[in-house]
Amino acid sequence: MDDVATHAQEIGPYLHTLRKILSVMGPQSSFQSSLKTLLKTLAEDHGMLRPHISIFDPETKHLKVSLTHAQMKNAQATYEPGQGITGQVFTTGQPVVVPVMKEHPAFLNKAFGRTEEELGSLAFVCVPVLSPNKDSEGVQEVIGTLSVDIPREPVDMLEAHCRFLEVVAGMIANQAAYLQEEIARQKHLISQGLMAGSSEIESEAPNIVATSKPMRLVLNQVRQVGPSRATVLLRGESGTGKELFAEAIHQASPRAEMPLVKLNCAALPSELVESELFGHQKGAFTGAVANKKGMFELAHQGTLFLDEIGELSLSAQAKVLRAIQEQEIQRLGSEQTINVDVRVICATHQNLEEQVENGQFREDLYYRINVFPIFIPPLRERREDILPMAEHFLKVYAKEYGKDIKRVSTPAIELLTQYDWPGNVRELKNCLERAVLLCDEAVIRTYHLPPTLQTAESSATDTNLSFCDAVAKFEQELLVDALKKAKGNMLQAARDLRVSYRIVNYKVKKYGLDAKKFSSSGRSKK
């Protein structure tokens, strides 16, 4: 009996974890979120460090860490079949236990950059992930690996962990197969220019929310031009987020660790812009009491972002052209040239072609900065992005102001998507910040939005509606929104609306609503 009790005590934590894994792998969860939760569970329940799943890409013939519950040192690390422990497990289809990392000659330490101390104190377990389907000969193909770091333990304990991980790997076979298919699908979309390389761009530009096809094409252009030193011209209306895209280009470049220096050419008087760009020597003009480095010097080996470049004076334009072409500058009041290595990104909302014709902008500078133009469409031309962006800003400001706001109501969503947003993303951002400040409940409603949106909505509504019909329509919208939030529970909807259950029941029948159909829609809104 003691042996049975001891055995139960040993396997108990494993069984508990397996039950947790099963609970999150139902059809209600996406395969990626299921796998991420699984890795987090392994780390929290069993002290397994850096749990990660590597997936084989049939196109490149390499294994790559595709999901991990740890910070990677080298996110681009890959393994050829047979290379390192990961590659060996993939090739043989057999698990490998490494009792001490630094003592195993095949352990490469490519992805996570473990310290020497960790290499001497950690074990490593890697098991194969097999395809859920068998080939014509009844053999299951290896599609990836599941690996973890573990503090050094006796070999029998490490073997027990290995057997447990083999069971886990079997449970995630379907999700891993979906992940492999998703990687292949995304690579195809990227090759067709229909999607940016999300793994690179989204990590480099986490504040850019882009679901529409036009914005995915913009992100793809960012991915293409980022690694080069080409001059980029960002074009688009004010408020479209040109500065964010300049940051994304910088982060996608080899200069990412060097400075990104920004100057809004419209924010300074013309007589001060040249001093800001090129610096000045002491005594160069009244008030120049010391030597000062300019933006070009500060951005040496990095990137200089010139916003609203159309506002530059012709004199400053000539000097910017020389700096870009010759990669050298002169401070005001000095005859000494200074070599600078700067990648330039420019932005404007103006019609530069028209300015060139009118003699307001130098033609030679125009062609120099227009090497790789990127047009960022206004928000009204990519309405699919409005709701995801609104939800993003809602999360940001709810966290900043310490408010527990869950979502945007259906009528408020309609207002947001109907409005033309002349101020573009900047206006949407300000709108959501204001709404969060005003909201004292869990949902952003229409009356939390600015009056400009209310006016726009009223102009878009059917003006032939009578007053009673308009009130009835608004009442129905409130009722639908409450039922969604309450997942079809009319009693809860009545509490939220602060009316009696009898009134809600009457209104549901009056408008021909089916409360049951909201039982799942409310869940998806969370």
For residue 405, the domain's CATH number is 1.10.8.60
Same-domain status, 367 and 439 = no
Same-domain status, 140 and 209 = no
Q: Using alpha carbons, select from 420, 398, 401, 409 the residue that is nearest to residue 448.
A: 409
Give percent above pLDDT 90 in the chain: 42
| 389 within domain boundaries | yes
Same-domain status, 311 and 390 = no
Cα Rg of the chain (Å, integer): 30
pLDDT of residue 23: 72
Same-domain status, 352 and 394 = no
Helix (H) or strand (E) holding 307: strand 303-307
| 193 within domain boundaries | no
Contact between 444 and 486 under an 8 Å Cβ cutoff? The reply is: no
Same-domain status, 347 and 393 = no
Average pLDDT on 415-434 reads 92
Same-domain status, 371 and 390 = no
pLDDT of residue 342: 93
Same-domain status, 247 and 275 = yes
| Residue-range definition of the domain harbouring residue 287 | 200-375
Residue 343 has pLDDT above 90, yes or no: yes
Average pLDDT on 58-69 reads 86
Same-domain status, 157 and 259 = no
pLDDT of residue 180: 78
Average pLDDT on 251-279 reads 86
Same-domain status, 330 and 205 = yes
Final residue belonging to a domain, choices 329, 358, 375: 375
Rounded Cα–Cα distance for residues 114 and 6 (Å): 35
CB atoms under 10 Å from CB of 525, counted, come to: 17
| 191 within domain boundaries | no
- Tally of structural domains, the chain: 3
Residue 512 has pLDDT above 90, yes or no: no
Higher-scoring residue by pLDDT: 181, 123: 123
CA angle 38/125/120 to nearest 5° reads: 120
Strands in 260-264's sheet, in edge-to-edge order, are 260-264, 303-307, 343-348, 232-235, 372-375
Least confident of 111-115, 202-206, 264-268, 286-290: 202-206
Same-domain status, 361 and 388 = no
pLDDT of residue 494: 87
pLDDT of residue 6: 44
Rounded Cα–Cα distance for residues 340 and 467 (Å): 68
| 190 within domain boundaries | no
pLDDT of residue 239: 92
Least confident of 285-299, 306-320, 393-407: 285-299
Residue 193 has pLDDT above 80, yes or no: no
Residue labelled with tokens 């809104």: 525
pLDDT of residue 223: 85
pLDDT band at 456 (very low <50, low <70, confident <90, very high): low
Same-domain status, 24 and 144 = yes
pLDDT of residue 201: 44
